[in-house]
Each structure stands twice: as structure tokens, then as C-alpha cells.
Amino acid sequence: MKQITITLFFMVAVYCTIAQPVKLHGQLKVEGTQLVDKDNKPVVLNGMSFGWSCFHPRFYTASAVRWLYRDWKCSVVRAALGVEPDKGYLKDSAVSKNLIKTVVDQAIIEGIYVIIDWHSHNINLKEAKEFFKEMATLYGKHPNIIYELFNEPDYETWPEVKSYATEIISAIRAIDSNNIILVGSPHWDQDINLPAEDPINGYKNLMYTVHFYAGTHKQILRDRTDAAIAKGLPVFISESAGMQATGNGPINYEEWNKWIKWMEVKKISWITWSVSDKDETCSVLNNSASDYGGWKTDDLKESGIKTREILRSKAKNK
């Protein structure tokens, strides 16, 4: 009996080690247009974004991160730092940073990747540089970390976004020379053609973000992204979902499935929005959902049920 117990213990230990994405893939990097792992094998990360930290702080818990990994099978989560709104970073940086750090710390414990997302629609260069320098100092030694510099530029031009991003990249790279950095594109991450024509040079391990909501964004955006990739631009889908771009309206399953299949063929990583209980289609949780995970089917909205199903299916097939 003792020998059986010891054998079972080691089988569980080995399984847990293999199952953890960061233990499996290690330090990520970009080769050409592809995200690859420590063995230069293509990597596709799939996961969930938390909602704005300033609006949905109750879900920024270690237990919620644990549940998203162990039950939803996320290989990556995204901590969305609300910047300008009340209770956001500009109004209360200490509270905001603690929320982000709670998610990042637990992601490291769970052995999954985590995106530190400056969730803003405006350029705040001084504050962003200060924040990312601090994050790089705290976490840059961990291969789990991905930096997202600018959630969704809205009316900024690409030269403005490029100038901003280059300064932040320089600040991060002075501390952390390896971890992946995600750069936004104008028009709510739709105009990926602009950085494709004029990419940031002189730095490695950069990727550029596209966001889609399948009820609004269809073949035109996929074609535009295909053209950007053909020009050599590495792409990461750091926010997506199945309904209208407003976050509301019915889920367009036909288009959402087209996006899922397209990303699978292209080996593009993606994140779904969002872990929150706002009264909207894209928030995956009902008000009944606990702050700490353990969510039952009744706690999930339609988008949550579908996204969990997709994530678990992707993990099973890897």
C-alpha cells in the first residue's frame, strides 16, 4: 500500500508539472510572425481577460485566477488595469496596482502566462512609463509575463502610437530584455495595416494586437490581418468575443466560429473579454458568481458557457 501511495504521489506531481503551460513552454519569443516556446515550437495561448479593474475589482482574486486555469483551462489571463475612470490608476494607483499584482502573482503560482494590460484609450506616456518600469522590475525575471502597452488606441494616429510605444518599450527593455510586448494599433485595434507598413524596429519579441467582436468584425478584418501577417507582422488577439463591438446584442455564432477556426489555422493566440458581471452580453458571469471562482453553469452567461467550452476543448486537444 505504501508503494502504491508513493507511486500515485509521483504520478500526480509529474502530471501537474507537465500540465502547467509555463513549465511546458518556458520563455516565449517571436520568430518571424510566430509566437514560439523555449524549444522553438509554435505556441498558441488561449484565455480570458478580466474586466476593467476599476469597475469589476471583486473578481481580481487569487482564487478566480486559480479557477480560470484549473477549470476553464486558460493558459493565459489578462489583467486589465483601468487607467482614467474613477477608482482607476490615475485616481488611486496603489489600489489599482494591488489588484493587478494579485492576478499576476497567482498566475505565476499556477504556472500560466499573464498579460499586464494598460487598459486605456488615451496616451498617458509619463504614467504608463512609470507603471511598466515598476512591473518590469517586479516581474521581469518571470517568463510568465506579457506586457500590453495600450489597450485600444481610438483616435490616435499610428505615428503617435508608435512614438508612445517605442518609449515604453525602451523603458521595459532596460529592465526586462526578453518577455513579449504587445503593441496596439489605431481605431480600437482594427487598423493593423498601419503598423504593418511602418513597424517598430530595433527591438525583439514584439507583437501587434487585433481586437474583434464577431457580430461587428468579419471577413474584412480577417483579410486585413492576413495581409499584415504576410508583410511580416506578428499578431496577437488580446481581446475578442462573439457579439457586437458594443459588447451587447446576440452572439453571432457563425462568425465567431469562423474567427476561432481562422486563428487555429494561423496559430494565433487569443483572449476573450471578459471576467465580469456587468449587464451586457460580453461579460461572462451573472451576478450570482462568486468573487473566488467555483462558478456553476447557472453563474455563467451564454458567452461564458461557450467560451469555457471552447477553452476546455482547446486544452484537451493540445
Exposed, middle or buried, 302 (CB in 10 Å: 0-12/13-18/19+)?
middle
Span 264-274, pLDDT tens digits: 999 999 999 99
Q: What is the pTM of this model?
A: 0.94
Q: What is the CB neighbour count within 10 angstroms for residue 264?
A: 14
DSSP 91: T
Q: Is 84 tagged catalytic?
A: no
Give me the catalytic one of 152, 254, 255, 280: 152
Q: pLDDT value at position 316?
A: 86
Residue with cell 489555422: 265
Closest-CA residue to 33 (of 272, 270, 271, 267): 267
pLDDT digits (tens, 9 = 90+) for 134-162: 999 999 999 999 999 999 999 999 999 99
Whether the predicted pLDDT of 5 surpasses 50? no
Q: What is the pLDDT of residues 31-40, one digit of tens each?
A: 999 999 999 9
239, 255, 264, 280: the active-site residue: 239
239 assigned to active site: yes
**Which domains does the chain show, CATH number per domain?**
42-317 (3.20.20.80)
